[in-house]
Chain A
Amino acid sequence: MTISPDQIVWFEFGVIRINATLLFTWLVMALLALGAWRITRRLSSDATLSTGQHLLEVLVLGMRDQVRDIARQDAAPYLPFVGSLFIFIAAGNLLAIVPGFEPPTGSLSTTTALALCVFIATPLYGIRQRGWRAYFRDYLEPTPIMLPLNLVGEAARTLALAVRLYGNVMSGAVVGAILLIITPLFFPVLMHALELLTGVIQAYIFAVLATVYLAAATAAHDIRRPSTAPNPPAPDHSE
C-alpha cells in the first residue's frame, strides 16, 4: 500500500522524475486554466448568461462574500490568492471520483508547498498593508520575550496547515483501501462519497485559515478595543 502518490513514478528521464503528484497537479492546473480561459472568452452582460459564466459568477461571488465576512475587510486583495487555493484544492479533491486519479493533495509535498505559499504570503500582505516596521513589531508584542514563541507559532501553524490537509485526504485513501479488503463493493463507495464532502470541507478550511492568517497580519491592531479611559494612549500601553 502506498501512502503517498509521490511513490508512483510515471516516467524517469535522467535526474528528472515525473511522479503521480506532479502529473496530476499539472492536470488539475491545466484543467482549471483551460476552463477559466474558455469561459472568460465569451463573457456577456446580457440577461442570458452561459452556464459556465453562471458557475464562475456564483463561485467568485460566494468566495468574495465569505472572505469579506471572515476577514471583516474588503475582499479584493485576498480574493486572487485565497480563491486560487480554494479552487485548486477543491478541484484536486473532487477529481478523486475519477478512477485512476490520485488527488495531488494526498501528498505531503503538495500540501507543504501550499502551506509555504501561505507562510510567505502572510508577511507580504502584512508589510504591503502596514509597512514592515508595524508588521514586525507584532512579533515583539506583548513583550520582546515572546519573540521566539511567536516565531515558533508561525512555523507550527504552517506545519499544521500542511499536515491537516495531507492527513485528511490521505486518510480517505487509506480507509478506502482497507475497506476494499474487508467489505468490497458497497462500503467503499459510501466512503468515497463521504470523501467528496471531506475534500470540499478541507478546501474550505484551508482557505478560511489562510484568510484568517492574512487578515490577522494586515489588520491585527487596526481594530483596537475602545478604551474606557479617555486619556490618549501612552506609548507603553499597547494591547
Chain B
Amino acid sequence: MDATLLIALASIITAGLTISIGTVGPALAEGRAVAQALAAIAQQPDEAATLSRSLFVGLAMIESTAIYCFVVAMILIFANPFWNHFVAATGP
C-alpha cells in the first residue's frame, strides 16, 4: 500500500469521523439551549427580546464548534497539505 493511497484513505475516513462526531455535541447542546430558552420565554414573555438575543449569540458560540469540525473536514478533503506534498513529490 503506497503513501498516497494511505493518505487518501486516512483523510476521507477522518473527514467523515470529524463531521459526524463533531456535530453530535453541538446538536445536543443547541437542543438543550433552545429548550431552556423556550421555557424561559414561556415563563416571561416580556423578556423575549433579551432572551432571544442571548439565545442567538449562545447558539452561534455553540455552533462554531461544529463549524470548526466542518472546516477541518473541508481542509482534509479539498486542501489536504499532506496529499499535496506527496502528489507533488511523486508526480502525477
Contacts and interface: CB of A to CB of B under 8 A. Distances in A.
A201 interface: yes
B15 to A, nearest CB: 12
Contacts, number: 39
A3 B80 CA distance: 12
Contacts of A205: 56-57, 60
Interface string A128-172: 000000000000000000000000000000001001101110110
B57 A164 contact: no
A69 B50 CA distance: 9
* Interface secondary structure of A, over-half rule: helix
Contact of A164 (B67, B74, B79): B67
B82 interface: no
B74 A168 contact: no
A209 B79 CA distance: 29
Given A167-B64, A167-B70, A3 B79 contact: yes
A21 interface: no
A205 B57 CA distance: 6
Interface of B: 50, 53, 56-57, 60, 63-64, 67-68, 70-71, 74, 78-79
27 contacts: A1-B78, A3-B78, A3-B79, A69-B50, A69-B53, A70-B53, A160-B64, A163-B71, A164-B64, A166-B71, A167-B68, A167-B70, A167-B71, A168-B63, A168-B67, A170-B71, A170-B74, A171-B67, A171-B70, A201-B56, A204-B56, A205-B56, A205-B60, A208-B53, A208-B57, A209-B57, A212-B57
Interface of A: 1, 3, 69-70, 160, 163-164, 166-168, 170-171, 174, 201-202, 204-205, 208-209, 212
